[in-house]
């Protein structure tokens, strides 16, 4: 399943949690979540209020979570894992 498909399956309020194990994977996830959590960019000078802009489909929840030193000591394979979470908005 791809990330766009996963977002489409989420109901409003549902959360998408993605664990990546490589920096290139993490870059793809980070970029995707960031793009889907921003409102459409408008040119400067357009007379539109912020409340009139469409709501983005996702809202980022917290920051990226990486394993602690204790987790890495218990499981060395976890050292490169990164967890990112986003919540589906009503849009």
- Domain holding 21, by residue range, is 3-41+48-88
Who's near 9: CB < 8 A, 6+ residues apart? none
pLDDT of residue 47: 85
Question: Strand 82-88 and strand 58-65: pairing?
Answer: antiparallel
Q: How many domains does the chain have?
A: 1
pLDDT by residue for the chain (91 residues), tens only, comes to 899 999 999 999 999 999 999 999 999 999 999 999 997 777 888 888 777 788 899 999 999 999 999 999 999 999 999 999 999 998 6
The whole-model pTM stands at 0.84
* CATH number for the domain harbouring residue 81: 3.40.50.150
pLDDT of residue 91: 66
H/E element, 70: helix 69-74
């Amino acid at each position: 399943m791809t990330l766009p498909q996963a977002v489409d399956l989420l109901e409003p309020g549902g959360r998408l949690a993605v664990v990546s194990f490589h920096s290139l994977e993490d870059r793809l996830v980070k970029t995707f979540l960031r793009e889907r959590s921003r409102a459409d960019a408008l040119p400067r000078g357009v007379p539109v209020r912020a409340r009139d802009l469409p709501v983005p489909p996702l809202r980022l929840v917290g920051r990226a979570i990486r394993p602690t030193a204790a987790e890495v000591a218990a499981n060395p394979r976890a050292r490169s894992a990164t967890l990112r979470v986003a919540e589906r908005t009503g849009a």
